[in-house]
Structure 1
Amino acid sequence: MNQKTLTKLEFDKIISRLEEEAGSFRGRQLCRRLKPMTDLEKINTFQEQTAAAYTRIVRKGRISFSDAAPVEESMKRLEIGGALSISELLRICRLLANTSRVKSYGRHDTQEDSSDCLDAYFDQLEPLTSLSNEIERCIISEDEISDDASSTLKHIRRSMGSINDRIHTTLNGLVNGSLRTYLQDPIITMRGDRYCIPVKAEYRSQVQGLIHDQSSTGSTLFIEPMAVVKLNNDLKELYAKEQEEIQVILARLSEETAQYIEEIRADYRAMTDLDFIFARGALALSMKGSRPVLNTEGRIRIREGRHPLLDEKTVVPITVSLGEDFTLLIITGPNTGGKTVSLKTVGLFTLMGQAGLHIPAGDRSELAVFHQVYADIGDEQSIEQSLSTFSSHMTNIVSFLKKVDEHSLVLFDELGAGTDPTEGAALATSILSYLHKRNIRTMATTHYSELKVYALSTPGVENACCEFDVESLRPTYRLLIGIPGKSNAFAISSKLGLPDFIIDDARQRLSEQDLSFEDLLTDLETSRRTIEKEREEIAAYRRETEALKKEAEKRQEKLDEQRDRILREANEKANAILREAKEVADETIRNFHKFGKENISAAEMEKERERLRKKIKDTAPAASAARKAKKAHKPEEFKLGETVKVLSMNLTGTVQSLPDSRGNVTVQMGILRSQVNISDLEIVEEPSAYAPKKLTRTSKGRIGMSKSLSVSPEINLLGRTVDEAVAELDKYLDDALLSHLNTVRVVHGKGTGALRKGIHEYLRRQKHVKSYHLAEFGEGDAGVTIVELK
């Protein structure tokens, strides 16, 4: 691709954004060198890598490659037997540590994570953990070697520490003792790696030692007392030995590193290659891009494409096609209407796609692979155009007309502008016709009506326009394929206040053919807007119908399920009632035969009869009992929204309509809506949410309380005496039983153990306690007792 086209289509700005996403030096270099490719197989490989990185970033987040610093110079030094510095070894250590993190990031955590083309890069990585751990153990920072780097270094530094202590002890004795009156300040200082004390110049003869420095005024001399001269000499020798040992340690680490030269080089290359790939994936994510489908047939289909350098909140997506039904697209319309943006979007998407980058467009967008993209795009969209402008554009056009072929994409912005309109239109038509005959994919923007007519009358050539709202005098930036655009000069001038008589005079100066053509464009525009509006309404109705249909289907499914459930429960209840009735009948017949054979008194027979009658009454069909209301309700008692129970269906619902003349009301029972007679209804008395809980007696005579929502599964008895705790626990266990709690926790603490012992004595005597034991470690240990209730 020629550099001029890349610049005009702003491909370099995309590369700058890509470079910002990379973390390593070589990764940024690879981004900077990225250019559009023409080999389809290589392009698809890059696109697949970008898509794989995009997917991994979405699933796992970003991974940093910033520690992948260049190591080639260090590797060359190791190859010739040289030793590395502390900073070089740390750089290699950070590279290996980063390699370990990246390799871990590359692993597939679940079976859902399918393998991709990046696995080969992650498999190449060798973290060399033993080497990085050894470097990290020996080197603390660029200015410090660890004491544990070697036993010799540790011994040297221990000796240095001992001598330092002796020096400080000696000097402190002098400073705070016999020499104190001779000192400028009672401090210990350093001069040239030697410990000194500041002595007043007049007392020089009173302090035996070596002078190392003096103050700027000469009033203070920095003297090394003779008592510490030998110690300072010993310390200096140890300093030298320390540096020698550090060099030995660095040489040893370098020797160990030299064993892995090729592995480190391979790690660096793989890491920076991954940095380059993940930069492309991150750019695709930031632009909300998608992978285009590439072809070699010259076919372009961009769906909802957004120019990546425009604000995504305001840019209007365009849908454009080229190369299938037509090979030449002529875009017309007013100035600032988005024609140039549409042209640049197609050109830039082509370059990005061929560079292996995703494009900010809808899925399944197609791009063609071109060997060259030629663009004549400028900013000459004003009345100041001159012959020099026309000449420069024509020079550019002539230069690439010599090289263009059927594998090229050609983009013209305002072709033929800058000269006489008649000659410019004729020249533009001839250039486009030449390219069209050679089957070269071409897009051009223009104001010339002659080119609109050419597109309408030539097969394989299509008109397009950028929509313009005449009422607001603003472009909508929507690209409409198949419709030529109007310049709207008269309408715009009128809206801006140009007198009508001037506009009418201008209309009269147009030829009848021009007026007819403008009227045709107006009719086409009106028809298009009407059809588009109707299409949108039809689509909205279709979506609404589909939603209603799905909702109705779901509602019918729920009704069917509820009906089946009601019938199933009714059948089960009926079968149970029949079984019960059969058992009662069988028992009655057996007793009848027994009473006939044995001499049974009348009183005993009456007693048995009464027992059976009571049993029949207790086991009467639930349906019959259910259908019988507690009391008959009058029609005026039913209000809208009243909660009622449908006795025949054993369902609760709300009243949706007042009783009619026959006493029928509409009741909504969940999703079920039905007409029910008031004789089959019972008004449900709903208690206030703030009313106190009442005792209720069950059918078996037990008293129950609504405790399940208020009783905690744990009671805290900390701080209680044994008597207080037992009384409180007794009441709590009663409540827990009524709430059907199976297991509760009793918190009593450890303390002296008296409270725990008293509680266990009480629990041992309770019949409703199934078992109890101390909690496990981590659940409270000996401070909590777990109680299981029967």
Structure 2
Amino acid sequence: MNQRIFHVLEYNKIVEMLNGQASSSLGKEKTRSIKPSTNLSEVIEWQEQTDEAAHVLRLKGNVPLGGIFDIKPSIKRSVIGGLLNAHECLDVASTIYGGKQIKYFIEAMEEPEMPILRDLIEQIVPLNELERQIKSCIDDNGHVMDGASDKLRTIRSKIRTNESRVRDKLDGYTKTKSKMLSDAIVTIRNDRYVLPVKQEYRGAIGGIVHDQSASGATLFIEPQAVVDINNQLQEARVQEKNEVERILRELSEKIADDQDFLYQNVEALGQIDFMFARAKLAKLMRASMPKMNDQGIIKMKQARHPLISDDEVVANDVELGESYTTIVITGPNTGGKTVTLKMVGLCTLMAQSGLQVPALDGCELSIFSNVFADIGDEQSIEQSLSTFSSHMTNIVNIMDQVDHQTLVLFDELGAGTDPQEGAALAMAILDDVVGRGARIIATTHYPELKAYGYNRNGVTNASVEFDIQTLKPTYRLLIGVPGRSNAFEISRKLGLNESVIETAKSHIGTDSKSVENMIASLEDSRRGAERDYEQAEDVLREAEDLKQELQTQWELFDKKREELYKKAEQKAEKAVQKAREEAEAIVSELRSMKNQASLKEHEWIEARKSLDEAQPKLSKQRPGQENRPTIAKELQPGDEVQLLTLNQKGTILDKVGNNEFQVQVGIMKVKVKQKDLQFIKREEPLIEKPMATVKGSTYHVKPELDLRGERFEDALHRLEKYVDDALLAGYPMVSIIHGKGTGALRNGVQAFAKKHSQISTYRIGGMNEGGSGVTIFEFR
């Protein structure tokens, strides 16, 4: 990728914004070195990293990445035997702690689809012992504490005692001989306590002179009475310095011992910070993840320029690379042509750098080996080049390198010279670059290029919209519609005499008028199509809402009707049962009187049968259902059918003619025409499921049970039932997923396994089985 394009498209500003989102010097180092890649698989991997981090931000809002430092130089110095100071040791401890914080944060998330982040945090080693040793010796301000060693505590106690003795003696001087002192204070010179004595009282005080004032009127004297104490104090301070150095050297050696783990942690933390910096930038820009391809296809809906604020930017749809490979944009100055050009180029560079782009979800961008741009006035006084010469020099360099994997952006192609020659040159340049298969977006003022898109395959016109009523551009990009010349309309709105405008129109050729009329017609058609589309969308939305409402009402009505039918059936059944019981009582009473009557036994049986036949039969078909059409089914072998002529049920064996089937009825096989058969039901084929089926039950048992998120008691209840089902299913081994968390659920699962008579062994899952978040049961 050529370096000039980063300046032209202001890619460096994006890098600065990204750098501001990094939380640590590790992340900032990586953001400063970000560059677009031309490898599709690498870019896709970067985009997945950014999207995964953005997903965490959507769920959690932020991540704990504080207290992380670039400790690589400190590690290197400790390895070669260097002595780290207290602040460097403290930075090591802080980075270890920061690594543990982000590790625990990601592990605590229940989102399963975070393979990249989970892989990175697996690389972070929580060096608890090294962190504890450093923090037990050095406080948060980078000061080696008294408790770092017993010897240091003793030395510092001695220092404080001697300091107190010196001050006490010198305070006595300030009280009794204050007239001899310039100030009644105790001060320090050459790390020794002294008094500011007036020059004339030098002999009265006596002692060692360490310094004097600029005027010479004051001498800083160490009285002889405190010389010995000051000497003891100095000796103690030397001992303190040596002991502190010994402690720091010991810590430096321990840091050197863990160098491999520390380098590994630093690399993982830097990558995590880099990922979240890209995700934070995407959140700031309201960006989305682009789908990447290497086919030169660009599709962006409501794309915005990343460096223009939301209250000023206008979103546009841009498509390139499928139906056409070149877009020629025409329109007025300050209409947004150059912004559109830069937006496409900058979004391409961002996507190839693993950054999300400010557009709606579903956008698609391509990998280009090079992005070239000729944008803006690059006139060079030093090189004595005109604007045209400067542009042509740049274009020549571009055309020397362009190929089918290139995106080329031309701003005001052919400008700066004679309009007729410039237009011809612009078309020739476009023909050459189009012929090489490059993807091109070009802007121009030349009216000749408005017809260019209609005469070339793979080329389309576009324009930026201009509002004649307000005399301002709307900055909307219109694909497929060339820009109109609005000079006459603007002049009329500004009050130019109509006769002058008509005279000007008479000087325009017929071809130019035809083109302008065609463009006007296209604009009217587009506006009409947009209005129709919006109306159709409104009608469709209303129809869908109405359909949903009707469906909901029908379901409520159907449910209510079923409830009423069920109540009616229950009431009727109770009435029939009561009548039957009364009839049974009557028959029983009559039977007891049988010896007194002349009725025979078979007459009693016939009477009982008549009672049974008199019981009403409830219809299983609901009112209204008889009129519902039966779903037609094409009869197949194995279907159960009703033989209408025999009033018998049978099973179709085979089709023996166009409209005739062989049917099994009991032990008989008969041929029956299709019109005499009524479909009843069809046995659905059994679908094998990748799980066991408990005998005598339709409950399917998976080879694993997920208890994450369950309350402890509920989880053990589910576990007990699951193990019974798994034993019935014949599994030799099952996995119980309990997660890591506090470890309470894991301990409960393992305690259950110890007591269960059918569980022979249990163990923690391996690296590819879920690790300490899973326990494996093996059955006897």
- Deviation per CA, 1:63-83, whole angstroms, max 9, x where unpaired? 465644333333332233222
1:538-577 matched pairs, under 5 angstroms: 538-561=536-559
Q: What is the aligned-residue identity percentage?
A: 44
- Contact 1:387–1:418 (CA under 8 A) maintained in structure 2: no
Q: Separation in 1 of the partners of 2:179 and 2:450?
A: 106
3-state DSSP class of the match of 1:117?
A: helix
| d(CA) in 2 for partners of 1:459, 1:401 | 20
1:432 is matched with 430
Partner residue, 2:240: 242
Query: Within the alignment, does 1:508 sit opposite 2:506 as a pair?
Result: yes
Aligned counterparts of 2:376 and 2:184: Cα–Cα separation in 1: 79
Q: Do the aligned partners of residues 181 and 451 (structure 1) sit closer, same or farther apart at CA in structure 2, a change above 3 Å counting?
A: closer
SS in 1 for 2:388: helix
One of 519, 522, 528 as aligned partner of 2:520: 522
Aligned counterparts of 1:234 and 1:147: Cα–Cα separation in 2: 19
Q: Deviations over 1:238-271 (max 9, x none)?
A: 1111111111111111121111122222222222
Give 1:52's aligned amino acid. E
Aligned to 1:123: 122
Contact kept? 1:316, 1:477, Cα under 8 Å: yes
Q: Which amino acid is 1:103 matched to?
A: K
Q: Which residue does 1:458 correspond to in 2? A: 456
Task: Name the residue aligned to 2:406.
Answer: 408
Structure 1 pair 201–574 and aligned structure 2 pair: CA distance change class (3 A): farther
Return the offset for 1:105.
Answer: 2.8
Deviation string for 1:372-430 (max 9, x for gaps)?
Answer: 1221111599xxxx992222212221221122111112221121222222222222222
- Contact kept in structure 1, 2:324 and 2:460, CA below 8 Å: yes
Aligned match of 2:749: none
Counterparts of 1:604-753 in structure 2, within 5 Å, are none
**1:15 maps to what in 2?**
15
1:220, 1:308 → 2: CA distance? 67
Distance 2:403 2:208 in 1: 90
Residues 577, 375 of structure 1: alpha-carbon distance in 2 compared, 3 angstrom cutoff:
same
1:288 to partner: Cα distance? 1.1
Q: State whether residues 99 and 125 of structure 1, in contact with CA within 8 Å, keep that contact through their aligned partners in structure 2.
A: yes
SS in 2 for 1:286: helix
SS at match of 1:462: strand
Deviation at 1:222, TM superposition (A): 5.4
Alpha-carbon distance between aligned partners in 2 of 1:573 and 1:222, rounded to the nearest angstrom: 116
Q: Work out whether residues 26 and 269 of structure 2, in 8 Å CA contact, stay in contact via their aligned partners in 1.
A: no
Question: For residues 107 and 182 of structure 1, do their structure 2 counterparts lie closer, same or farther at Cα, with a shift above 3 Å needed?
Answer: same
Q: Is the 8 A contact 2:485 2:516 kept in 1?
A: no
* Structure 2 letter corresponding to 1:317: A
Contact 1:294 1:368 in 2 (8 A): yes
- When residues 574 and 208 of structure 1 are mapped into structure 2, their CA distance, relative to the original with a 3 A threshold, is farther
Contact 1:23 1:64 survives alignment (8 Å):
no
> Residue type matched to 2:514 in 1?
S
**Residues 1:263 and 1:549: Cα distance change in structure 2 (over 3 Å):** same
1:495 aligned partner: 493
CA distance in 2, matches of 1:167, 1:458: 97
C-alpha separation in 2, matches of 1:496 and 1:117? 61
Does the alignment pair 1:36 with 2:36?
yes
The yes-or-no answer on 1:294 pairing with 2:292 is yes
Query: Aligned in 2, Cα 1:577/1:194: closer, same or farther, shift over 3 Å?
Result: farther
Q: Structure 1: how far apart are the matches of 2:481 and 2:209?
A: 98
CA distance in 2, matches of 1:387, 1:159: 79
1:436 Cα deviation from its structure 2 partner: 2.6
In the alignment, the residues of structure 2 paired with residue 582 and residue 192 of structure 1 have an alpha-carbon distance, to the nearest angstrom, of 122
Paired AA for residue 143 in structure 2: E
| Matching residue's letter, 2:12 | D
| Partner AA of 1:265 in structure 2 | Y
The answer as to 2:324 corresponding to 1:323 is: no
Shift of 1:153: 0.6
Aligned residue among 477, 480, 483 for 1:482: 480
Question: Given the alignment of the two structures, is residue 279 of structure 1 paired with residue 273 of structure 2, yes or no?
Answer: no
Change (3 A) 1:18 1:577: same
Q: Is the 8 A contact 1:463 1:484 kept in 2?
A: yes
Contact 2:406/2:438 (<8 A) preserved: yes
Q: Deviations over 1:336-364 (max 9, x none)?
A: 22222222222222211112211111222
Aligned CA distance change for structure 1 residues 366 and 246 (closer, same or farther; 3 Å): same
1:332 to 1:368, Cα distance in 2 relative to 1, 3 A: same
Find the counterpart in structure 2 of residue 114 from structure 1: 113
Q: Which residue matches 1:368?
A: 366
- How has the CA–CA distance of structure 1 residues 576 and 215 changed in structure 2, closer, same or farther, with 3 Å as cutoff? farther
Paired letter, 1:115: M
- Distance between the aligned counterparts of 1:214 and 1:570, measured in 2? 117
Aligned to 2:80: 80
Shift, 1:321, TM fit? 1.2
Q: For residue 130 of structure 1, what is the amino acid of its counterpart?
A: E
Give the alignment's TM-score, normalised by structure 2.
0.68
Task: Please name the residue that 2:657 is paired with.
Answer: none
C-alpha distance 308-222 of structure 1, shift in aligned 2 (>3 A): closer
1:420-469 CA distances to partner (integer Å, 9 max, x unpaired)? Answer: 22222222222222223333222212233322222113332212222222
SS in 2 for 1:472: coil
Q: Tell me the amino acid that sits aligned with residue 249 of structure 1.
A: I
**For residues 186 and 377 of structure 1, what CA distance do their matches in structure 2 show?**
75
| Residue 702 of structure 2: aligned partner | none
The 1:64–1:572 alpha-carbon spacing in structure 2 relative to 1, beyond 3 Å, is same
Structure 1 residues 279 and 572: CA distance shift in structure 2, 3 A: same
Shift of 1:334: 2.4
One-letter code of the match for 2:118? D
> Does structure 1 conserve the Cα–Cα contact (< 8 Å) formed by 2:327 and 2:460?
yes
SS at match of 1:445: strand
Residues 155, 398 of structure 1: alpha-carbon distance in 2 compared, 3 angstrom cutoff: same
Inter-partner Cα distance in structure 2 for 1:98 and 1:441:
46
Distance 1:148 1:33 in 2: 43
Letter of the structure 2 residue corresponding to residue 99 of structure 1: G
Secondary structure at the counterpart of residue 451 of structure 2: helix
Cα distance between partner residues in 1 of 2:359 and 2:332:
25
Q: How far apart are 1:40 and its partner, in Å? A: 0.8
Structure 1 partner of 2:151: 152
Distance in 2 (alpha carbons) for counterparts of 1:325 and 1:193: 83
Judge conservation of contact 1:295–1:367 (CA < 8 Å) in 2. yes
Judged with a 3 Å threshold, the aligned counterparts in structure 2 of structure 1 residues 402 and 209 are, in CA distance, closer, same or farther, namely: closer
Hey, what does 2:669 align to over in structure 1?
none
Q: In the alignment, what sits opposite 2:745? A: none
Contact 2:297 / 2:321 at 8 angstroms: preserved in 1? Answer: yes
Q: Distance in 1 between matches of 2:376 and 2:519?
A: 28
- Quick check: 2:378–2:391 contact (8 Å CA) kept in 1? no
Q: Report the equivalent of 2:753.
A: none
Name the CA distance, whole Å, in 2 between partners of 1:13 and 1:571.
Answer: 78
2:756 maps to: none
Measured in 2, the distance between the counterparts of 1:203 and 1:420 equals 96
Structure (1 or 2) with the larger CA radius of gyration: 1
- Structure 1 match to 2:3: 3
Return the alpha-carbon distance in structure 2 between the equivalents of residues 209 and 403 of structure 1: 85
Distance in structure 2 (CA, Å) of the matches to 1:577 and 1:201: 130
Q: RMSD of the TM alignment (CA)?
A: 3.6
Alignment of 1:146-295 (within 5 A): 146-170=145-169, 188-196=186-194, 210=208, 212=210, 224-295=222-293
**Mean Cα deviation higher: 69-78 or 411-420:** 69-78
Which sections of structure 2, spanning at least 5 residues, go unmatched? 585-780
Distance 2:146 2:394 in 1: 70
How far apart in 2 are the matches of 1:127 and 1:471? Answer: 67
Residues paired across the two proteins, number:
584
**Separation (CA, whole Å) in 2 of partners of 1:560 and 1:302:** 46
**Structure 2 CA distance, aligned partners of 1:114 and 1:215?**
73
Secondary structure of 1:144 counterpart: coil
Query: Under a length normalisation based on structure 1, what TM-score does the superposition of the two structures give?
Result: 0.67
Report the equivalent of 1:309. 307
User: For residue 344 of structure 1, what is the amino acid of its counterpart?
Assistant: K
Structure 2 counterpart of 1:274, one-letter code: I
Q: CA deviation at 1:223?
A: 5.1
Task: Report deviation, 1:510.
Answer: 1.0
Gaps of at least 5 residues in structure 1 are 587-790
